[in-house]
Amino acid sequence: IAAVQYALIMVFGFLTFGRATQGNVLLNYANGDLLGIGARAAIGISMLFGYPMQFAGLRSGILEAAGSEIDLPKGKHRLVTAAILGGILGVACLFHDLGKFQAIEGALLAAFLIYIAPPMMALRLWGGPWAKARFYTFIGIGIVLTVVGCKVTMA
C-alpha cells in the first residue's frame, strides 16, 4: 500500500509540475500556498514527534547490545543519551549531501535484507553440512553485492 501511495505522489507531482519537479514536491509550491504550508507543517510535526520514538529504540538497542539488561540510574541514562545524540549530531554535521548518504544506506540495507539476513537466519534453523555451505555461499554473494552496490552508488 505504501509503495502505491509513493508512486501516486510521484506521478501526480510530475503531472502537476512536469520537468521542473523538485525532489521534494513541497518545494514546488509557492511559499504562500495554504495547502503547501499545511503539508510542510504536518511533515514538521511528524518529524518532531517521530524522531524521539526512533531514538528510544536506538538507545535501548545499543544498551541491550552492550549487555546492559538492568535499568540505568538517571545520571548514567542521561549521559548515554547525550553521548548517542552527540554522535548522531557529529555524523550529521559531516554530511552535506544527504541524498548520497541515503543512497549508500539503501544499498547497504537492501543487500543485507535480501541476500545476507535470510541465509543467516536459515543457518539457525537448518544445520546440515550442505545446507550450511549453501547458506555461507549466499552470505558471501551478498557481501560481494553489497560492496558492488556501494561502489556503484559512490561513483
pLDDT in tens, 100-139: 778 888 888 888 999 999 999 998 888 788 989 999 999 9
Identify whether 18 is part of a domain. Answer: no
Using one digit for the tens of pLDDT, what is the confidence trace for 55-80? 999 998 888 888 876 778 889 889 99
The pLDDT assigned to 119 comes to 93
User: What sign for the dihedral angle of Cα 80, 86, 91, 92?
Assistant: positive
How many domains would you assign to the chain? 1
Q: Is residue 148 situated within a structural domain? A: yes
Q: What percent of the chain has pLDDT over 70?
A: 99
Number of C-alpha atoms within 13 angstroms, CB side, residue 95?
13
User: Is residue 5 one of the residues assigned to a domain?
Assistant: no
Please indicate, yes or no, if residue 30 is contained in any of the structural domains: no
Domain residues for the domain of 105 are 97-155
Question: Global pTM?
Answer: 0.52
Per-residue model confidence (pLDDT) at position 69? 65
Give a yes or no: residue 21 inside a domain.
Answer: no
Closest CA to 111 of 76, 140, 75, 78: 140
**Using one digit for the tens of pLDDT, what is the confidence trace for 99-108?**
777 888 888 8
Is 154 part of a structural domain of the chain?
A: yes
CB of 154 closer than 8 Å to CB of 104: yes
Q: How confident is the model at residue 18 (pLDDT cuts 50, 70, 90)?
A: confident
